[in-house]
Amino acid sequence: MSRNPNRREVLKATAAAAAAAAGATPAGRVARAGVGAPPRPRPDKLNQIDAVLRAAVAAGDVPGVVALAATEDGLVYQGVFGSRRLDGGPAMTTDTVFRIASMVKLITTVAALRLVEQEKLALDAPVPAIDPAIGAPLVLEGFDAAGKPQLRPARRSILLRHLLTHTAGFAYRLWDAKALRYFEARGRMRAAARAKLPPTPLMFDPGARWQYGTSIDWVGRIVEAIGGEPLDLHFRRHILDPLGMHDTGFVIAPEQRAREASVHRRKISGALAAEPMERPPPLRARPRSFSGGGGIYSTATDYLTFLRMLLHGGSLGGTRILRPDTVALMGRNQIGAIEIGTMRTTAPALSNDVDFFPGSSCKWGFGHLINTQPVAGGRSAGSLTWGGLFNTYYWIDPQQRIVAVFMTQVLPFADGPALRAYRAFERGLYAAVRAG
């Protein structure tokens, strides 16, 4: 474990720093009747979180973990346990670099909503026709007797709202058997026939239902087109550097790569095995374009900073990224009566079935999954969350004014032991807050 040695000193110092940085109470703060500052978690209860996470590492549930939490006063929990790599790697640290995969989608969403605020994009207008796949989309109706895909024009245009809420019709093959069958059928065709089919058709008409997929990748391309600069540079100039998130990016420097955690894979036996370390591409082969839906690196510290900005209504330390009313929209149900449901895997080696709140109705805002019912011993109803393929997770609890991040590097996604550790962290944090 690695953390500041005296929790009382940590809490006191971080609260003072946060107060100085944040200044006045931010606009858009959720009022809580009869309550002033958020309660201070009890240090003895925080020590119980340490014990739980330490036990999770010892049991092989995770190879190592960085778990951080903050309220409006600043950092309230910092737990760092295990190692970056099981076969003798260095210990985890607060500045360990993780592959956070789909957790970049929230950053891309913020970038797009900034352009909405600037009236360069509109939520309820057809998206810019930067590609036929979104300008003139085709919907996969099914397959003929020979297995050939049958497509038709979409019955309505794709709106930015559809892309931001995963209701546009785009899917990932990883969680959609129909999409997987399409890509397999297309791959078997001769080149001339394959060229006539879109690489990314819609699985349904825009607005008809929810399906997790490549929608935010398209949002990233739209941000590039409207913002007039590459996505990585746009993030850097307008979000990451202003917030001091210097360890977050699509390409990491050698010094950051030296702090990178290895990905581990869960074997059939339940044990974890370290995957080969990533090799940095040669300079001449570095990518020139980046995805708004994945492929980014970050640290728990950086990502907590990003979450704290959202908790504070779009600003932190005197830097405003979004307006409070825009942040409020992000946390509201934007899909109406549509339900999220369970994401059924087509590749168990990469992901388990995904249902973070079994038996509970879940909605989608802009950038987040929303649980509509409180979690026993944990977050409030209306909390916001998502994660990344390698079992990195976050949540924002607007009611209790808590943000938290949990980072490890394990495949498959929604790994049972990793999720147990994540939920234990959550329950321990709320027990400490409620006892404070």
Q: What is the pLDDT of residues 275-287, one digit of tens each?
A: 998 877 766 656 6
Question: Which position among 83, 105, 297, 303 bears the catalytic label?
Answer: 105
> pLDDT at residue 19 above 60?
no
The closest of 242, 172, 164 to 206, measured between CA atoms, is 164
Residue range 169-192, pLDDT digits in tens? 999 999 999 999 999 999 999 998
Whole-angstrom distance, CA of residue 163 vs CA of residue 206: 9
Q: Averaged over 68-95, what is the pLDDT?
A: 95
7-117+229-279+288-435: CATH superfamily: DD-peptidase/beta-lactamase superfamily (3.40.710.10)
pLDDT of residue 3: 42
Q: Residue written as tokens 């649980």?
A: 371
pTM of the model: 0.91
Question: Which position among 77, 172, 212, 297 bears the catalytic label?
Answer: 212
31 pLDDT tier (thresholds 50, 70, 90):
very low
Question: Which position among 102, 262, 291, 383 bears the catalytic label?
Answer: 102
350 touches 335 (CB < 8 A): no
The closest of 275, 346, 309, 351 to 102, measured between CA atoms, is 351
Degrees to nearest 5, angle at CA 79 with 76 and 85: 155
Indicate if 77 belongs to the active site: no
> pLDDT at residue 35 above 70?
no
pLDDT of residue 44: 86
Indicate if 267 belongs to the active site: no
pLDDT of residue 22: 37
Q: Residue written as tokens 């990451």?
A: 240
Q: Averaged over 108-126, what is the pLDDT?
A: 98
Tell me the pairing of strands 319-320 and 383-388: unpaired
Residue range 302-338, pLDDT digits in tens? 999 999 999 999 999 999 999 999 999 999 999 999 9
Tell me the pairing of strands 410-411 and 264-266: parallel
Q: Averaged over 399-421, what is the pLDDT?
A: 98
Mean of per-residue pLDDT scores for the chain? 91
* Secondary-structure breakdown of the chain: helix, strand, coil percentages, each rounded to the nearest 5: 35, 20, 45
pLDDT of residue 37: 57
> pLDDT at residue 420 above 70?
yes
Degrees to nearest 5, angle at CA 330 with 324 and 332: 110
Q: Is 34 exposed, middle or buried (0-12, 13-18, 19+ CB in 10 A)?
A: exposed
Indicate if 102 belongs to the active site: yes
Query: Distances from the Cα of 242 to the Cαs of 96, 106, 296, 306, 321, in angstroms?
Result: 21, 17, 18, 11, 8
Q: Averaged over 343-368, what is the pLDDT?
A: 97
Considering the chain, what percentage of its residues have pLDDT values greater than 90? 83
Question: What are the start and end residues of each CATH 3.40.710.10 domain in the chain?
Answer: 7-117+229-279+288-435
> What residues contact residue 269 under an 8 Å CB cut-off, 6+ apart?
none
